[in-house]
Structure formats: C-alpha cells, structure tokens
C-alpha cells in the first residue's frame, strides 16, 4: 500500500458503467486515524518517562516492569505512528508488534499490568479491520 498517487474516490465506475467499491481510500483513512491514535499513545508514554504532568510518580518511582513497558511503547508507538502515516510496510509491521505486545501484556501478564479489555479489544478489532481492508485492496487490484 503506497500513497504515490492521489487519493481516489471510494466509489468508482468501470467501463461498463457499473459502480464498484474501492477499499483503498477507506484503508488509507483508517491507517491514518490509527497513526494519530498511536501518536497520542506514544506521547502519553513520554509524559510518564519525563513526568511533565506534575503530581504523578516519576519514572524512577514506578516498578521496573512498568518502566520497561513505558520505554518500549514510547519508542514503538511513535515509530509505528510515523510509519502508518507514511503508509509504509514497515509502519504496519512496527504497529503490529506494538499492538500484539500490548495485547500480550494485558492478557498473559494481567496480574502485573492489569486487565485492559478495552485496549485489548481495540487492538484486536483494528488488526482485523486492517487485515480485511488490506485483503480487499489486494483483491481489487488484481481485477
């Protein structure tokens, strides 16, 4: 999925006058919205590290496992956000690593990081949506 050409309309008309659904613009909008979400998440992780919110505990005051997670997600979320915004394949890979890592932390290590069903559901649904629209884009480009 590259953004070398202008964003085509979601509905196209073929040579016979038949209308068809073009999933590429929907995928582009979804990926860019996902990039904004991960940008906000990455900046939030940096507020934990740098502590500009004031009254909360600093990085040295939280347990080691939370420090490691904060540092990991502060980097991976921002790198994923940039890659997703640029519509690059490496951005999708970094996003998938970050999303699956967060799912694993809140599912398999819920006793440490706490259960976060909304976060886990968000990542799972976003992975399914991305996979579905990527499949539809590839399928429509073959025909």
What does the domain layout of the chain look like in residue ranges?
27-142
Residue whose entry in the numeric block shows the structure tokens 């050409």: 5
Position 5 pLDDT exceeds 50? no
Neighbours of 1 (CB within 10 A): 16
Give me the pLDDT at residue 39, please.
98
Q: Are 19 and 12 in contact (CB under 8 A)?
A: yes
Q: How far apart are CA 27 and CA 36, in angstroms?
A: 14
Give me the pLDDT at residue 133, please.
95
Per-residue pLDDT, averaged over 33-62, amounts to 85
* Closest by CA position to 119, among listed 57, 77, 67, 87: 77
Give me the pLDDT at residue 10, please.
56
141: its two tokens: 């480009």
* Closest by CA position to 37, among listed 106, 89, 117, 95: 95
Sign of CA dihedral 37, 40, 43, 45: negative
pTM of the full predicted structure? 0.81
More confident residue, 31 or 47: 31
Residue whose entry in the numeric block shows the structure tokens 């505990």: 57
Give me the pLDDT at residue 55, please.
61
Give me the pLDDT at residue 7, please.
47
Residue pLDDT, tens place only, 76-124: 999 999 999 999 999 999 999 999 999 999 999 999 999 999 999 999 9
Q: Are 101 and 72 in contact (CB under 8 A)?
A: yes
More confident residue, 105 or 5: 105
Residue pLDDT, tens place only, 7-34: 455 555 454 545 578 899 999 999 999 9
Q: How far apart are CA 107 and CA 27, in angstroms?
A: 28
Q: How far apart are CA 27 and CA 12, in angstroms?
A: 15
More confident residue, 57 or 62: 62
């Amino acid at each position: 999925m590259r953004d070398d050409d202008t964003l085509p309309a979601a509905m196209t008309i073929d040579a016979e006058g038949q209308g068809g659904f073009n999933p590429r613009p929907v995928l582009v909008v979804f990926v860019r919205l996902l990039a904004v979400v991960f940008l906000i998440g990455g900046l939030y992780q940096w507020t934990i590290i740098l502590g500009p919110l004031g009254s909360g505990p600093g990085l040295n005051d939280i347990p080691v496992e939370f420090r490691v997670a904060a540092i990991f997600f502060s980097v991976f979320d921002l790198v994923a956000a940039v890659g997703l915004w640029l519509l690059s394949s490496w951005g999708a890979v970094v996003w998938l690593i970050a999303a699956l890592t967060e799912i694993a932390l809140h599912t398999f290590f819920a006793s440490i990081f706490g259960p976060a069903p909304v976060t886990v559901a968000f990542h799972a649904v976003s992975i399914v949506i991305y996979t579905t629209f990527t499949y539809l884009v590839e399928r429509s480009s073959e025909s």
